[in-house]
Amino acid sequence: MIIAIDGPSGSGKSSTAKRVAKALNFVYLDTGAMYRAVSVGVLRSGIAPENSEEVAEAVRHMTVLFRKGKVLLDGRDVTTAIREDAANKAVTPVSANPAVRKLLVEKQRAYARDHDVVMEGRDIGTVVFPDADYKFFLTAEIGVRAERRMKEAPDALSLEEVRDDLQRRDEYDASREHSPLKCAADAIVIDTTNMTLQQQTDKILSLIREPKNGGK
């Protein structure tokens, strides 16, 4: 089974998807972390994130793995580095690169061939798995999303800086040519502005466990 959870940064996707996966005993896959990890690899190779050809060639040789809550890039722990400001900035052009998207989407599809998954990102219900069994689109007001992101950002940025960065990424993600952030027509939209993590998780679990067509 494939459960797709899409939405902008700070909408609560990651924390919710993790909990839903745990409750169902499914594999959890954070595709944003995949784009972030290869962006860190690009920066560490000294390649300009906007240089689409060199970026694509470098990413082709990278391996991203998730192990015991850690993100490994070519065997090295990048769990903290992927949340730093440099990665926040580099991930925008890297994730807009169609060749990079193709490579990572192939890996995401391969994952779901062998596992029941909860996969979260921007394009999971629209592009990666248009036939996903369940699609959720999480949103929240930008001020609330900035506060949530602040708590997990390793850099000492002000709330205003985090908010401005979110706004910049939202606009870019929604307007880019390849796989823009958009809600699938058949996704269930959940506004998490006034919801706790537990409420978001319970809401999704109740919709998944509810028999389809009222059990008929």
Binding of residue 173 to ligand DC (CB under 6 A): yes
Give 96 or 195: the residue with its C-beta nearer to ligand DC. 96
Burial status of residue 69 (CB atoms within 10 A of its CB: 0-12, 13-18, 19 or more): exposed
Distance, in Å, from the CA atom of 21 to the CA atom of 194, rounded to the nearest integer, reads 22
Distance, in Å, from the CA atom of 27 to the CA atom of 17, rounded to the nearest integer, reads 10
Residues in a beta bridge with 188: 136
Binding of residue 9 to ligand DC (CB under 6 A): yes
Helix (H) or strand (E) holding 32: helix 31-44
- By CB under 6 A, the count of residues binding ligand DC is 13
Binding of residue 35 to ligand DC (CB under 6 A): yes
Binding of residue 180 to ligand DC (CB under 6 A): no
Distance, in Å, from the CA atom of 114 to the CA atom of 169, rounded to the nearest integer, reads 32
Position among 5, 123, 139, 190 found at the interface with ligand DC (CB under 6 A): 123
Binding of residue 165 to ligand DC (CB under 6 A): no
Distance, in Å, from the CA atom of 49 to the CA atom of 91, rounded to the nearest integer, reads 8
Give 69 or 211: the residue with its C-beta nearer to ligand DC. 69
Binding of residue 169 to ligand DC (CB under 6 A): yes
Position among 36, 135, 145, 148 found at the interface with ligand DC (CB under 6 A): 36
Binding of residue 137 to ligand DC (CB under 6 A): no
Position among 3, 16, 31, 93 found at the interface with ligand DC (CB under 6 A): 31
For ligand DC, the binding residues in 42-101 under the rule CB under 6 A are 91-92, 95
- Whole-angstrom CA distances from 183 to 25, 49, 54, 151, 214 are 26, 27, 31, 26, 25
**Interacting residues with ligand DC (CB under 6 A):** 9, 31-32, 35-36, 91-92, 95, 121-123, 169, 173
